[in-house]
Amino acid sequence: MSEIERGRGVALWSQISGILASDILKGQLRQGEQLPSAQELAARFDVNRHTVRRAIAALEERNLVRTEQGRGTFVQEQTMDYVISRRTRFTQNMRNLNVEADMEFLEDAREIPPPQVAQALGMDRNDYVYRIETLDRADGHIVDYSTAYFPAARFNGLPAVYRRLRSVTRTLAEFGVADYERKHTRVSARLPDANTARLMKQPANRPVLYVQSINADTRGVPVQYGVTRFSGDWVQLVLMADH
C-alpha cells in the first residue's frame, strides 16, 4: 500500500484519508468490514491518534465509513430504500428488500400527550394516549427508533396486544381497524438528542432522518401519531406519489 509523504504540502490526515478511501473504493476494504483501531492506524502511518481521527472523520463526511459507539469504525454498506407511501408498513418494506427484520420494545406508558400529539390525533388535551417506543433492526443493524401514540380510550389495552402481535397493522386489526392510510408525513434532518444517539448507537453530531406521521382509518379518523428517527447510515427515504 502507498504510505504518506511528509513535507509535500498535503496534510497527513488528508493523505491517510485518501489511502483508506482508495482501499475502500478498490474493494480491498469490503462493505461492513471493520477498520483497524485508531492505535493500529497510528502505528501503521507513524502519526498520532488525533491525526487518524481527523482522517476517519473525513471518510465519514464522504459516507465511506460509519462509527458505532463502543464497537469501532466500519466500511459503510449500501443504504436501503425505505418507501413511504399511503400504506407504509415496516414489515412489508423489509420483506421487499429481502432483509431479516426484528423489533425491540423499549417501553410503553399511558399518559397525557404533548399538545401537538393531542392535536394531531384530534383529541382533547386531557385525554390519554398510549406511548410505545421501539427499535427496529434490519439484518442486525439498527435502522430506526420510533415513538408511537395511540388514543387510549379507543384502543384500551393496546400495549399488551402490540407486544404479542409485534405489528401495528395486526394490532389495529384486533381493535376493528381493518385498514389505515398515511394521512400526513413530514420529513426533516436533525441532530439526535443524547438519548436517541445512545439508543441508535451513533455519534451525537451525525444527523438522523426525522419523520413525523399520522395514520388514519378509512373514515379519516386518526389512529396513530408517530415520530420515527431513521439512521442516515442505513436508510434512504423514498417518497412515493399517491396513485
Q: Taking 50 as the threshold, does the pLDDT of residue 243 lie above it? A: no
126 Cβ partners below 8 Å, 6+ apart?
112
- Delimiting residues of CATH 1.10.10.10 domain(s) in the chain: 12-75
pLDDT digits (tens, 9 = 90+) for 73-132: 988 876 677 767 776 666 666 666 666 778 999 999 999 999 999 999 999 989 999 999
Q: Taking 50 as the threshold, does the pLDDT of residue 180 lie above it? A: yes
CA distances from 96 to 33, 88, 111, 203, 208 (A): 25, 12, 35, 29, 23
Cβ(212)–Cβ(135) below 8 Å:
no
| Strand pairing report for 129-138 and 141-151 | antiparallel
Specify the CATH number for 12-75; select among 1.10.10.10, 1.20.120.80, 3.40.50.2000, 3.90.550.10: 1.10.10.10
pLDDT digits (tens, 9 = 90+) for 39-82: 999 999 999 999 999 999 999 888 788 888 778 898 887 667 77
Q: Taking 60 as the threshold, does the pLDDT of residue 1 lie above it? A: no
Cβ(129)–Cβ(123) below 8 Å:
yes
pLDDT for the residue 68 = 80
pLDDT band for position 162 (cuts 50, 70, 90):
very high
Q: List the single range of 19-23, 140-144, 215-219 with lowest mean pLDDT.
A: 140-144
CATH topology of domain 80-239: Chorismate lyase (3.40.1410)
Q: List the single range of 21-25, 161-165, 192-196 with lowest mean pLDDT.
A: 21-25
pLDDT for the residue 203 = 81
pLDDT digits (tens, 9 = 90+) for 209-241: 999 999 999 999 999 999 999 987 777 777 776
- Delimiting residues of CATH 3.40.1410.10 domain(s) in the chain: 80-239
Q: How many residues does the chain have?
A: 243
